[in-house]
Structure 1
Amino acid sequence: MKDPETISDTYNLNEIYVIKNDGIKEKFSYEKLIKSCIMINIPLGLAERIAHKVSKEAHEDITTKEIKNIIYNFLKKENKNLADKYYNYNSLRVRTARDTIEPFDKEKIAKTLVQETQTTPKLANKIANDVYKELKKLELDYLTAPIIREMVNTKLTENGLESLRRKYTRLGMPVYNITNLIESGNKDNANMMNNPETIHKYVADESLKQYALLNILPHNLADAHMNGTVHIHDLEFFAGRPINCLQHDLRQFIRYGLKVDGTGDHTSVAGAPNHIETLMNHSGEIMLAAQQNMSGGQAMSLWNVFVAPFAAGLPYEKIKQAVEMLIFNLNMAYAARGGQVPFTSIGLEFTVPDFLKDEPAYGPGGKVVGVYGDFEKEVRLLQKAFTEALIKGDSEGKPHLFPNTIYYLRKECLTPEFTEDIDRVHYLSAKFGTAYFINMLPDYMGNMANYMGCRTRLSDNWTGDWEKDCLRTGNLAYVTMNLPRIGYNARDEREIFDYLDDYMKIVEDVLLLRRERALKCLNDYKILPFLTQKMGEDPYYMVDNSTLSFGFVGLNEMLQAQTGAGLEDPSSNQLGLDVIKYINERADELKAETGLRWGVIQTPAESTAYRFATMDREKYPDQVICNGDSDASYYTNSSHVPVDTNMSLPEKIKIESEYHPLTQGGHIFHAFMGESYSDPDSLMSLTQKITRKTDIGFWAYSSALSFCINCKTLMKGLQTTCSHCGETKNVEWYDRITGYVQQVGHADSASGGWNKGKKQELLDRKRWEQ
């Protein structure tokens, strides 16, 4: 083999960059050229000659398409069979229904024909060969699975095989895939069970995903998603429901009443509520109605403060009954997308925050009934009632999974007066692990900050106005960057930041397109009426205050690829901090350039960490650093320490707390607790350390639970056998998947809503004992 250094010196290749299909630039690599040829069994000697040929013709900003043409034309003169093989692998690229870009393989056509139509292998191979000949004539820049499928159907029709065509055709998606959905379901969203609404959702999702990739996103942005450079979340909602999450202001509905359709033209209209029971009903209906206009979840911050005037003068039992009504409604309303309950969060205060004490309080009939500082007692009673209802669980003793209940820890409540209230919440944490905590003591938190259970975050650091910054708006969208891939490609630390520039440009372009689409849906197409309904003079949803966020996955693996060590190593961790600071610097520049609200979020990568790792295991088999095995791979979420770390809990807290001020678009700290870590006093002691000594902003004490469906026994830990009745088949597992507690599936099977990567992560999690 020729010395690549000699080649580089001769042609100055170190100064040449190659532009890939997704727009990312990377330095020309002589070695990579040879490796790509050898991967498709081109002999080493011929591969060296090819690399030498390309090196001679390479120029600044040469595209991958130009390089492929040089290689293909060279191979055509040397070996036609190898030329065809190279063409299939590198030029006939297919955008698949799995959101990937793969080499064309005619054997896959034959395989699917046999699988879906039960035809003979001989006939399937004949049809596949005919389709391949037609595809080569077209010279398309890219193929899609639907194009290939329709060409197969054309060949089936030409050969008089109409019965096979009917089986192989698409109904928005292939007949075979719809059959699998009906029979086996989908594992992308752990909050969804398999039912008719789920099937409808996924069939519609597939069409709308393809619409976004083919009709809205430019090719380079679509390719960046499909090749795993970035992940564009909620593609199925990009076209018609592009807004992610929303923080409600309950006061507006107390004042103006409720139009669940946004106009009042198609449903009954409710006036301002007069009783606490009506307000509880409205609270649930608000989130059910808004879900029709949102792609993500919703939250109600300051909930018990705004409800407090309706509890004045009521006995505690009546208050508690009203609260239970809301909790059960939110857990039993299977009316959200795909037959799931709405993804909801409720923010609870232990006392009236100082900044709200003199604000006008709206009570029955929407009238001002004093200031919120007058209702301190009721605020505390509502929080107590909510917590006690959650501790009780449902009638079978299972935890209520929604709403995600978030407790605010402010300096006003960290006094002996509130010890009993805060202890009660830690009893809830010890029992079910469902409570979340917000630490309002660090300086970066401001006077007001609110979170969704999935971690998206707002705070009053945008304009300084807590209402404008934190209510009636939310995260419009985020796009996630595949950081480990940067680690595999960057040749030194300096190049990491070059790659980040390219990745962030992709994210910027996608997010600006998403915002443009949101404005059209809100204002031009008028298909989001709940969000645009007037509350006084203004529309309810304040789109100009919404956030656009850079997400990321796998910081730990990126560092391992570059430095040989992850976040647990101080030197490597410093590079990690520098990377996230760099992303923040770009977000700040964009704020100044666009006037929009940009930020950085720790992506709640329920499926993205699995998708990226699975794709990279195929793309970089010799370099990939990921968790799990080839069947269940996953990257470490965002800037978290690996779940199987041997670090102590305080050490883990120390490292991860450094990233919370840098991820103000959203973050979370997970403390995975063991079976014996069920002492509320121990958890309370840990909470005091977190709030007073760290910059952790949002966290939860997560407990794995097992529930016997046979005898209704709840157990700590992931148990395979019921401790009460000995049942082994019907034992359900529960744990926090990314940002919320949900069923994993049955202990004895692969059933349930968690994908393979998240299930493997669950088993890998190190849990802390007392």
Structure 2
Amino acid sequence: MMQNKTKIADLLSNNIKVCVKKNNGILERFSHEKLLKSLVLVETPLSESDKIISSIISSVYDGISTKEIKKIVHEELSGIDEETANKYLATTTLKVRTSRDKIESFDLSKIANTLIEETGASQETAFEIASQVWKELKKLNVQYLTAPMIREIVNTKLVEYGLEDLRSRYTRLGIPVYNITSLIENGSRDNANMIHNPESVHKYVADEALKQYALLHMLPSDLADAHMSGDIHIHDLEFFAGRPLNCMQHDIRTFIKYGLKVDGTGDHTSVAGPPNHIETLMNHTGEIMLAAQQNMSGGQGMSLWNVFVAPFAKGLPYDEVKQAVQMLVYNLNMAYAARGSQVPFTSMGLEFSVPKFLQDETAYGPKGQVVGTYGDFEEETRMLQRAFTETLLEGDADGKPHLFPNTIYTLRKESLTSEYEDDLLRVHELSAKYGSSYFANMLPKYRGNMANYMGCRTCLQDNWTGDWDTDCLRTGNLAYITLNFPRIAYQSKDESEVFDYIDSYIDLSVKALNIRREQGLNCLNNYNLLPFLNQDVEDDIYYRIDNSTMSFGFVGLNEMLLSLFGTGIDDPNSNKFGVKVLEHVNKRAQELKKETGLRWTVLQTPAESTAYRFATLDKEKFGDKAILQGESDANYYTNSSHVPVNSNTSLIDKIKIEEQYHSLTGGGHIFHAFMGESYSDPNSLMSLTNKIAKKSDIGFWAYSSALSFCIKCKTLMKGLNDQCPTCGEHDDVEWYDRITGYVQQVGRAKSASGGWNAGKRQELIDRKRFQQ
């Protein structure tokens, strides 16, 4: 035994620089400890393990694949004991791509357990069928099994055994019958913006089939593996094939000038000419957002909205203008017809006055006619902003907040003067009451004339061609992919390896984003699948795909730093490395711009589910090495480059830390100020806004408030309350808070039901609130 150990040590010293090529293409340093662990797991005697390891080490070479290593181990074990070799084959060589977006080792007992759970089969029958399936699977020369493949073999065996009644309950309809039944009875918590109804069930069933299509048909195996194992997260797989374009920023002037065809052609719907009245334009605004949702996978935004609408308010009394705005706001919140029975995910960018760069631009009014320049409509621009803010401030008929559109108030140097003090105060009354308003800061040096946001945080700036129109309107974020930063830290032996892994993950992301862009071009130009976006506008199509962004997102910078240095993002020394990491990702994006001529950006991922998914996968893969937020089964990673929500860092220090990353995440970012349960003072918030805008590089932020609403007596309360103080109700008290960007109902006080997954719900509980 001692001689074998000495031989292994000698061999290791000669192969110290050997790297193994994983299935996703990433190189990883050869580890004999990992090899030993795999042998111990299948109960290989230690003496035999040493011999096998010695044989492997003498055979490895730089760049050897994991598949080759596993083949050698299996052959060695077969010569020792066939049963042990079978165990090794099942646990390490036979991998299963599951319906949970994971890669797992084959486990015979899982087949038996699903048969028992889904069909009611006896334990004896279930394990007999599972054993027969295992015998068939051993004959297959495949690198990966899939859940559908295994399920079909199980169904074949059920038929052979005459168990047709069990087969009918176990068969697959895109997803298993059992899962569809669970969706009908219980719903899903993947998206907090969706309620449980027939349309959402229909969406989830279709989504699962389209996810499988993307992973099995559209993406090469290395990208599918990287996503399912948790190295990267490819967002919106259900939309990859048919709706590959993510967020969009509209130009309402297009529809003011040319009218509206909600199907893009007018062949299947009524066609509207250029609007003549403000009420018509309000109706068209909502219809535009709803129509685009049929073609897009993400949010719809309209920047400069009140400026472009201002000519329609000329000569109208304020009450009439406000009534028209109310109609729009209610329509946006009551059009339950978007994907899976959601209201359209919408954002509205409002200005406090006509920006200087727009004052001499041609203005279009009723019937699409030229009516001067936008500088002629300063008063109407301000009137529309006031009407919008007052409508949101009043809430709905029950006193609840209007959840859409996300309303973004653009702060420019001229708007932070005494002339606009009343308007600013009104907006901060809205922030104090509901916490629903956002602020886009145009004062930092990295800004130009325009920066518009399309929902949770995705952003366009006029830094592509330098033209505010072509850079920011009629285009959007095509797609983004998220890098698992904590995992990079767990796998890296030193700082240089961190950047090697980042580059590897970016390389994978570039491949996936290019495939998605190609699919977007096909859907626009070849498949006639996106007619609204493809409609003709002035010798061009409406959606400017060549100006759209492809972005690298990230999750868990804080946990990456904790793993590497023992301190997180709130430590100045660790934070320096965090900035260095984001500078590196930005450098790669700039290099890609030069190489490809395409628009690559970096953003803070709005990780509603990704932070939970990555943490769960890493907990399984790395055990105690994984650094997690939350508790037990409700773990999550800190979102992007944020300070952890439960940190004792002061609000001022939090601003100083996070502002460093906003100029490095030009594709989208947000700063969250989670406010306390006491009523926020509008004047104090306005003072804080002035300081953030003038003295920091924070580009986008919101004052977020947790709210409770009693359904029984219609009482709105600050904070997450278990009981209504007015009527004493316990059960029907709804909770509201900001998800990753937008405000939404997050469940009920006495129930775990609601739109949030376990990790996100735990983050809600963990949030530290700032008191004024």
Same fold (TM over 0.5): yes
Alpha-carbon separation, structure 2, partners of 1:587 and 1:42: 48
SS class of match (1:443):
coil
| Residue 616 (structure 2) aligned to one of 610, 614, 618 | 614
SS class of match (1:281):
helix
What's 1:240 paired with? 242
| Residue 154 (structure 2) aligned to one of 152, 155, 162 | 152
Alpha-carbon separation, structure 2, partners of 1:553 and 1:412: 36
What's 1:177 paired with? 179
Cα distance change on mapping 1:6 and 1:72 into 2, 3 Å: closer
Residue by residue, what CA displacement relative to the aligned partner does 1:159-180 show, whole Å, maximum 9, x if unpaired?
A: 1111111111011111111000
What's 2:17 paired with? 15
Residue by residue, what CA displacement relative to the aligned partner does 1:451-480 show, whole Å, maximum 9, x if unpaired?
A: 122100000000000000000000000011
| Residue 52 (structure 1) aligned to one of 51, 54, 79 | 54
What's 1:340 paired with? 342
> How far off is 1:208 after superposition?
0.6
SS class of match (2:554):
strand
| Residue 492 (structure 2) aligned to one of 490, 493, 512 | 490
For 1:59-74, what aligned pairs fall within 5 Å after superposition? 59-74=61-76
What's 1:398 paired with? 400
What's 1:513 paired with? 515
What's 1:499 paired with? 501
What's 1:590 paired with? 592
Residue by residue, what CA displacement relative to the aligned partner does 1:731-770 show, whole Å, maximum 9, x if unpaired?
A: 1000001010000111101110011010000000111012
CA contact under 8 A between 2:11 and 2:57: conserved in structure 1? no
Alpha-carbon separation, structure 2, partners of 1:353 and 1:71: 69
What's 2:367 paired with? 365
2:728 maps to 1:692: no
| 53-62 or 733-742, larger mean C-alpha shift | 53-62
Residue by residue, what CA displacement relative to the aligned partner does 1:183-202 show, whole Å, maximum 9, x if unpaired?
A: 00011000000110001101
What's 1:768 paired with? 770
**Which AA in structure 2 matches 1:648?**
S
Alpha-carbon separation, structure 1, partners of 2:189 and 2:423: 38
Residue by residue, what CA displacement relative to the aligned partner does 1:288-317 show, whole Å, maximum 9, x if unpaired?
A: 001000011100000000000000110000
SS class of match (1:530):
coil
What's 1:412 paired with? 414
**Which AA in structure 1 matches 2:425?**
D
For 1:550-589, what aligned pairs fall within 5 Å after superposition? 550-589=552-591
**Which AA in structure 1 matches 2:491?**
N
| 569-578 or 71-80, larger mean C-alpha shift | 71-80
2:240 maps to 1:225: no
**Which AA in structure 1 matches 2:33?**
E
What's 2:607 paired with? 605
Alpha-carbon separation, structure 1, partners of 2:461 and 2:15: 48
Identity of counterpart residues, as a percentage? 67
What's 1:424 paired with? 426
> How far off is 1:27 after superposition?
1.1
For 1:242-391, what aligned pairs fall within 5 Å after superposition? 242-391=244-393
Alpha-carbon separation, structure 2, partners of 1:566 and 1:62: 36
Alpha-carbon separation, structure 1, partners of 2:436 and 2:43: 54
CA contact under 8 A between 1:617 and 1:630: conserved in structure 2? no
**Which AA in structure 1 matches 2:38?**
S
CA contact under 8 A between 1:4 and 1:30: conserved in structure 2? no
Cα distance change on mapping 1:95 and 1:4 into 2, 3 Å: farther
CA contact under 8 A between 2:24 and 2:226: conserved in structure 1? yes
CA contact under 8 A between 1:474 and 1:547: conserved in structure 2? yes
Alpha-carbon separation, structure 1, partners of 2:246 and 2:6: 48
List alignment gaps of at least 5 residues for structure 1: none
CA contact under 8 A between 1:677 and 1:769: conserved in structure 2? no
CA contact under 8 A between 1:201 and 1:338: conserved in structure 2? yes
**Which AA in structure 1 matches 2:66?**
T
CA contact under 8 A between 1:11 and 1:55: conserved in structure 2? no
CA contact under 8 A between 2:96 and 2:106: conserved in structure 1? yes
What's 1:529 paired with? 531
Cα distance change on mapping 1:692 and 1:47 into 2, 3 Å: farther
SS class of match (1:508):
helix
| 489-498 or 65-74, larger mean C-alpha shift | 65-74
> How far off is 1:371 after superposition?
0.5
2:653 maps to 1:651: yes
Alpha-carbon separation, structure 1, partners of 2:712 and 2:73: 64
> How far off is 1:43 after superposition?
4.8
| Residue 107 (structure 1) aligned to one of 83, 86, 109 | 109
TM-score where L is the length of structure 2? 0.98
What's 1:88 paired with? 90
Alpha-carbon separation, structure 2, partners of 1:610 and 1:8: 43
Alpha-carbon separation, structure 2, partners of 1:123 and 1:245: 50
Residue by residue, what CA displacement relative to the aligned partner does 1:334-386 show, whole Å, maximum 9, x if unpaired?
A: 01000010100000000000000000110000001010001000000100000
| Residue 461 (structure 1) aligned to one of 460, 463, 487 | 463
| Residue 668 (structure 1) aligned to one of 660, 667, 670 | 670
Residue by residue, what CA displacement relative to the aligned partner does 1:609-664 show, whole Å, maximum 9, x if unpaired?
A: 00000011001103110111231110011111111101101001100000000000
2:737 maps to 1:746: no
Alpha-carbon separation, structure 2, partners of 1:373 and 1:91: 69
What's 1:708 paired with? 710
Residue by residue, what CA displacement relative to the aligned partner does 1:492-511 show, whole Å, maximum 9, x if unpaired?
A: 00100111111010000000
Alpha-carbon separation, structure 2, partners of 1:165 and 1:45: 46
CA contact under 8 A between 1:4 and 1:31: conserved in structure 2? no
What's 1:728 paired with? 730
2:170 maps to 1:168: yes
List alignment gaps of at least 5 residues for structure 2: none
Cα distance change on mapping 1:354 and 1:43 into 2, 3 Å: farther
Residue by residue, what CA displacement relative to the aligned partner does 1:83-137 show, whole Å, maximum 9, x if unpaired?
A: 2211111111110111100111111111111111111110011100000100010
Cα distance change on mapping 1:372 and 1:8 into 2, 3 Å: farther
Alpha-carbon separation, structure 2, partners of 1:562 and 1:260: 52
**Which AA in structure 1 matches 2:107?**
D
**Which AA in structure 2 matches 1:126?**
E
Alpha-carbon separation, structure 2, partners of 1:139 and 1:25: 24
SS class of match (1:50):
helix
**Which AA in structure 1 matches 2:281?**
L
Cα distance change on mapping 1:123 and 1:251 into 2, 3 Å: same
**Which AA in structure 2 matches 1:494?**
S
Alpha-carbon separation, structure 1, partners of 2:609 and 2:705: 21
CA contact under 8 A between 1:677 and 1:768: conserved in structure 2? no
Alpha-carbon separation, structure 1, partners of 2:334 and 2:45: 63
SS class of match (1:269):
coil
Alpha-carbon separation, structure 2, partners of 1:44 and 1:653: 55
Alpha-carbon separation, structure 2, partners of 1:322 and 1:3: 82
What's 1:197 paired with? 199
Alpha-carbon separation, structure 2, partners of 1:79 and 1:563: 45
2:130 maps to 1:141: no
Alpha-carbon separation, structure 1, partners of 2:205 and 2:6: 50
**Which AA in structure 1 matches 2:194?**
M
**Which AA in structure 2 matches 1:70?**
I
> How far off is 1:328 after superposition?
0.3
2:628 maps to 1:629: no
Cα distance change on mapping 1:490 and 1:700 into 2, 3 Å: same
TM-score where L is the length of structure 1? 0.99
Alpha-carbon separation, structure 1, partners of 2:487 and 2:6: 23
What's 1:121 paired with? 123
Residue by residue, what CA displacement relative to the aligned partner does 1:401-437 show, whole Å, maximum 9, x if unpaired?
A: 0000000000121110001100110110010000000
Residue by residue, what CA displacement relative to the aligned partner does 1:529-586 show, whole Å, maximum 9, x if unpaired?
A: 0001011211100000000001111111111111111101111111111111101111
